[in-house]
Structure 1
Amino acid sequence: MKYAIKNAIVLDGTREMVPQDDVIVLVNEDRIEAIVPSSYDTKGYEDLNLQGQYLMPGLINLDVHLPFSGKVSKRQMNPITKTKMATALPLTRKMTMKKCIEAAKTQLMSGVTTIRTTGGIEDFDTKIRDFVSDHTVVGPRIIAANKAISVPGAPLAGSLAYEVNSDEEVAMYVHKLAEEGVDYIKIVITGDMHEPDDEPGVLKMPASYVRTAVINAHELGLKVTAHVQGQIGLSVALDNKVDVIEHGSVLSKGMADTFKTNPSVAVCTISPTIPYAYLDESQTFASADAHHAGKVILRGMSEGAKACIAHRIPVGLGTVSGSPFVTHYDMWRELVYFTHYCHVDNNFALHTATCVNAKILGKEFSIGTIESGKCADLIVTKNNPLDDLSALRDLSYVITKGQIIETPRSNVILTLIRS
């Protein structure tokens, strides 16, 4: 299918993007064929007239857990029990797979055209990635990690992560995941705000395990992404050349240089901390310790991200979709939080959620900006997100690999009803 996107105000995703209202974007199948002047003769192309709406690259979410919805109740089921139930029978496995597919579709319909999964059930993530790739299901582009690697007492252990007790087991699971065709290896280095420790972000994974995971992954041509909160965990991750630091902390002396030398990048994930930093315990059903931890982690993460930006270290964005209170349709909020807590402007936030995130994934030559030859992963808003990022809530179109989806908001509602 060949079509010409006309009468659009184009935001191309670059750092210095400015609205362009004098161009036409030509799409041929799944690619942006060319960007031409508005006077160009588009004979042979179907017209998609946006009537003055805003066209930009699709958002990219770097931290997604497909099996969980973000819904919170007073009596939360243990995640290990929940995961075991989800895979216990052929019927429950089928239902769980369907739920994960619907979660991925919800991400897409809310404007996220690429997701990176960071801990899931068995090999469901790579299977869904392949279903989307061969057009069996509708969904975003997926960079898949499948199950993470964790240790006893650490986040995700026994649910969305393998629980390891030796360097040999770490190496075994890295190779197992590689055989499943993952795009990344995810490890869990520290605790988080849901752990009972007195201080958030306590070191959980021994440094030797981290080193083993990185060495084995790199030998297999895979990068390592790690759950890290607190300075000690951040130091262990950087010293052992972890590629992507999720969450992060305040940078101590010399850390910025280590980031650059490795090189490592950071992914800021403010969304999960907000409920615990600001809501009442009666609303979150969480302990006072969890609320204290939420505030500490929010402060450390935002200060760390600001320091990275100041030192020109790439900082990406993710939501940790599926964690408590974080749904699969809230990526726009992460951009708003990023501007508020990390003191960046709307341009920088949108640039980060598109172009920078694409570079972190190593996909900068195919997605992340509106350029000739890149994939036609695009979204359309009625209002200008550079003026107000909440404009990203109200999408007129989502275009994924050239496929046009009109009024995606209604698709989100129907998907949630089915779920």
Structure 2
Amino acid sequence: MNLFKIGLLIEGTGRCRETCYLAVEQGRIAGIGQAGDFAADCVAAAVDYTQYTVMPGLVDPHVHLFLEGISDAKARTLRWKEDKETTLLRAVNNLRRTICQGVTTVRDLGGPYGISTFLKKAVNQGTTPGPRVFTAGQAISITGGHFHYAGGREADGPDEMVKAVREQVRSGADCIKLMMTGCVNFVAQDAGIVELSLAEAKTGVNEAQRLNRQVAVHANGIAGVRQALAVGVATIEHGALIDEATADIMADSAVYWIPTLVPFERMLDYGRTHQTRTLPPAGIETVYLRHKAMVARAYRSGARIVAGTDAGALGVEHGDIWRELYLLAECGLPAAAVLQAATGLAAQAIGADQELGTLEMGKRADLLVLSGNPLTDIACIKNVVKVFKDGVAQ
């Protein structure tokens, strides 16, 4: 048994403890208490983290491991054309970058070549270091729909949707990713059409649920988000360009909203420094400010807001969850809620809360050791001292 003496323990449940001990045995949390709760020899040999904060390892439920967060649009276009082997090597580097930032679990929401499934196996077998990987396999869209160019699975009509879902499950998918809409059009400041028909969306969700898989849906705009809510998805990814009524509906539902604020901020930065037809800074800023306002409203109304980065998007590097947390704080979420958005609540969103996300007896010992207190300064989330996954230092 390994014992840690901790200055501040943030459990991820909303509860904190000062000056306590945490025991780890066989990769799981074996006890939390005071010195008298443990054998004297273990207390004497405890690892001293009394000058630090210890909290659960972070969970990022929206990444794309195959793609780097390149900040130059022209260079980025070349990445889509690389061969499988080069893409795989880059993805392995992305795993390493991620866990060094304290992220011990990720959910990959779509990519080519079956790379995320391969990475999941490699991490589980100890072949490469990295966070544990949950994968959606291929993102499912209509023919020519959003993200089809990233090795997606195109499906038209309910029958093809059933087959596409079953293919992902056969390939080892932990969840299903549906592309309800396209990207935001920052010139027109709209979300375009709802690409999946109601019948296709409903069939996809029903088949996934029948096979015990959650559904994550890329959706923007009022119509797209409301259709996602109507068919009963588990998580809504992005959710830009909604109105107050839709935010309130989201708050009244069982859905988890992953607004991915960082990509909008990085696109705005890019638009301000590069002249490009599709990323006008004024249009991006209008959409971004509205997006943040809806996140703030939804949180106040009781929505379950979860931190996710969309790592691999323009300018969004793997491990950039620190910035997502900062932006959630800007939206008015208190520090405790911000931290839960990347720990306990995030684990719930991906259906892994029985094992991950909080520091409780019997759960996996994913620990993040920080310098400073993120409850008083959220920027401290960047001050990573040590990362443990399953009780093992990374």
TM-score relative to the length of structure 1: 0.86
Task: Measure how far apart 1:74 and its partner are.
Answer: 5.2
Structure 2 Cα separation of the partners of residues 400 and 284 of structure 1: 40
Which structure 1 segments of 5+ residues have no match? 87-92, 406-419
Tell me which of 281, 300, 321 is aligned to 1:291. Answer: 281
Deviation string, structure 1 residues 52-77 (Cα, Å, up to 9, x no partner): 11111111111100111111325245
Instruction: Write out aligned runs for 1:68-79 (5 A).
Output: 68-73=67-72, 75-76=74-75, 78=77
Match of 2:323 in 1: 333
Given the alignment of the two structures, is residue 373 of structure 1 paired with residue 343 of structure 2, yes or no? no
Tell me which of 287, 294, 300 is aligned to 1:304. Answer: 294
Structure 2 Cα separation of the partners of residues 257 and 71 of structure 1: 35
Instruction: Write out aligned runs for 1:318-357 (5 A).
Output: 318-340=308-330, 342-357=331-346
Structure 1 Cα separation of the partners of residues 40 and 275 of structure 2: 58
Task: Measure how far apart 1:84 and its partner are.
Answer: 4.9
Task: Measure how far apart 1:287 and its partner are.
Answer: 2.6
Given the alignment of the two structures, is residue 32 of structure 1 paired with residue 29 of structure 2, yes or no? yes
Structure 1 Cα separation of the partners of residues 189 and 143 of structure 2: 18
Match of 1:410 in 2: none
Structure 1 Cα separation of the partners of residues 165 and 349 of structure 2: 21
Shift in alpha-carbon separation, 1:202–1:268, aligned structure 2, 3 A: same
Task: Measure how far apart 1:192 and its partner are.
Answer: 1.6
Aligned 8 A contact 1:191 1:200 in 2: no
Task: Measure how far apart 1:174 and its partner are.
Answer: 0.9
Task: Measure how far apart 1:25 and its partner are.
Answer: 0.3
Structure 2 Cα separation of the partners of residues 281 and 179 of structure 1: 41
Match of 1:43 in 2: 41
Aligned 8 A contact 2:12 2:344 in 1: yes
Instruction: Write out aligned runs for 1:216-255 (5 A).
Output: 216-249=207-240, 250-251=242-243, 253=245
Given the alignment of the two structures, is residue 384 of structure 1 paired with residue 373 of structure 2, yes or no? yes
SS in 1 for 2:88: helix
SS in 2 for 1:198: coil
Tell me which of 130, 145, 162 is aligned to 2:136. Answer: 145
Task: Measure how far apart 1:329 and its partner are.
Answer: 2.3
Task: Measure how far apart 1:252 and its partner are.
Answer: 5.1
SS in 1 for 2:105: strand
Shift in alpha-carbon separation, 1:317–1:7, aligned structure 2, 3 A: closer
Shift in alpha-carbon separation, 1:109–1:130, aligned structure 2, 3 A: same
Match of 1:89 in 2: none
Aligned 8 A contact 2:137 2:172 in 1: no
% of aligned pairs identical?
Answer: 24
Comparing 308-317 with 352-361, which one deviates more in the overlay?
308-317
Task: Measure how far apart 1:404 and its partner are.
Answer: 1.3
| Counterpart amino acid of residue 328 in structure 1 | H
Structure 1 Cα separation of the partners of residues 250 and 278 of structure 2: 35
Task: Measure how far apart 1:307 and its partner are.
Answer: 3.4
Shift in alpha-carbon separation, 1:76–1:165, aligned structure 2, 3 A: farther
Tell me which of 196, 204, 207 is aligned to 2:198. Answer: 207
Aligned 8 A contact 2:226 2:246 in 1: no
Comparing 6-15 with 247-256, which one deviates more in the overlay?
247-256
Structure 2 Cα separation of the partners of residues 346 and 258 of structure 1: 22
| Counterpart amino acid of residue 82 in structure 2 | M
SS in 1 for 2:188: coil
Shift in alpha-carbon separation, 1:224–1:285, aligned structure 2, 3 A: farther
Structure 1 Cα separation of the partners of residues 270 and 349 of structure 2: 36
Structure 2 Cα separation of the partners of residues 290 and 192 of structure 1: 15
Shift in alpha-carbon separation, 1:284–1:109, aligned structure 2, 3 A: farther
Shift in alpha-carbon separation, 1:313–1:67, aligned structure 2, 3 A: same
Structure 1 Cα separation of the partners of residues 247 and 94 of structure 2: 36
Task: Measure how far apart 1:207 and its partner are.
Answer: 2.3
| Counterpart amino acid of residue 184 in structure 1 | C
Cα root mean square deviation, aligned: 2.3
Match of 1:162 in 2: 153
Which structure 2 segments of 5+ residues have no match? none
Task: Measure how far apart 1:10 and its partner are.
Answer: 1.1
Comparing 93-102 with 294-303, which one deviates more in the overlay?
294-303
Structure 2 Cα separation of the partners of residues 280 and 157 of structure 1: 24
TM-score relative to the length of structure 2: 0.91
Tell me which of 261, 265, 273 is aligned to 1:270. Answer: 261
Structure 2 Cα separation of the partners of residues 84 and 208 of structure 1: 34
Match of 1:4 in 2: 3
SS in 2 for 1:21: strand
Match of 2:90 in 1: 99
Match of 1:85 in 2: 82
Task: Measure how far apart 1:50 and its partner are.
Answer: 1.5
| Counterpart amino acid of residue 3 in structure 1 | N
Structure 1 Cα separation of the partners of residues 364 and 388 of structure 2: 10
Aligned 8 A contact 1:316 1:353 in 2: yes
